[in-house]
Amino acid sequence: LFLKMDDERSNPPYSKKSDIPKEYNWQSLISKDGAELETQYIKILTELGKREGIIGVIFKKAQNRIQDPAKLRKLIVELINKETWLSLEADVKGDAYEGLLEKNAADVKGGAGQYFTPRHLINAMVEMMKPEPGIKIHDPACGTGGFLLSAYNYISKNYNLNRDQKQHLKHETFSGNEIVPMAARLCVMNLYLHGVNGEENPINPNDSLKVNPGGIYEMVLT
């Protein structure tokens, strides 16, 4: 799904630069079939997981859990490829992952130990806080990045930003902590697809209750 969304992001109307090499992108995957598709998929996961920066974080230790090439092709070509994911208003990745964790919390004694703020409540809180251009915003328990992205969207839509302000918004404004690896990975995916932080990884895996984040922030959203 991330590869598909990156492919959409690199084409009109977005036309953003992709950090994924051509030989490992979405088009290199959907052009294959059968055993070649499975081989290419495994190669993509392996090679991108070796890369430095944000792409390496996203694909680190990623594995193929679909052993049947026919099912893999159905998922990739017939399901994922037919949808234009970036046009959806919902945070698809965050919603899907949070739904799985909530189900796990209901099914397993003690739960997953994670609780996610509903999107409409996140947006309402951000609107009340009214973040402004030029400040630094931190979420000490950022999950899949809901607060950070809502603040990004709020600033983008409510201010006429000049070039320097746009650069600051994308590369210097946001940071967070998240101790759950999968949630942190999805947060990094979210930020990358929104053009936030480029190749830098703004998400720290340390526990905010144990380790001082070491920064000074004008606003904390969590």
Domains, the chain, with CATH or none: 2-85 (1.20.1260.30), 115-220 (3.40.50.150)
Q: pLDDT confidence of 159, banded at 50, 70, 90? A: very high
State the average pLDDT over residues 126-155.
94
Assess whether pLDDT exceeds 90 at residue 44.
Answer: yes
Distances in whole angstroms, Cα of residue 3 to Cα of each of 19, 20, 113, 126, 184? 11, 9, 29, 29, 18
| Residue with tokens 């944000």, as numbered in its chain | 54
What tokens appear for 145 in the block?
A: 């990045």
> Mean pLDDT score of the chain, rounded to an integer?
85
* 204 Cβ neighbours under 8 A, 6+ residues apart: 175, 176, 177, 178, 213
* 19 Cβ neighbours under 8 A, 6+ residues apart: 53, 54, 55, 192, 199
State the average pLDDT over residues 96-100.
58
pLDDT over 70, % of the chain: 86
Smallest CA-to-CA distance from 142 within 201, 221, 82, 198 is with: 221
Main-chain phi, psi angles of 123, to 5 degrees: -65, -40
Assess whether pLDDT exceeds 70 at residue 97.
Answer: no
CB of 183 closer than 8 Å to CB of 141 = no
Q: Is this model's pTM higher than 0.85 or not?
A: no
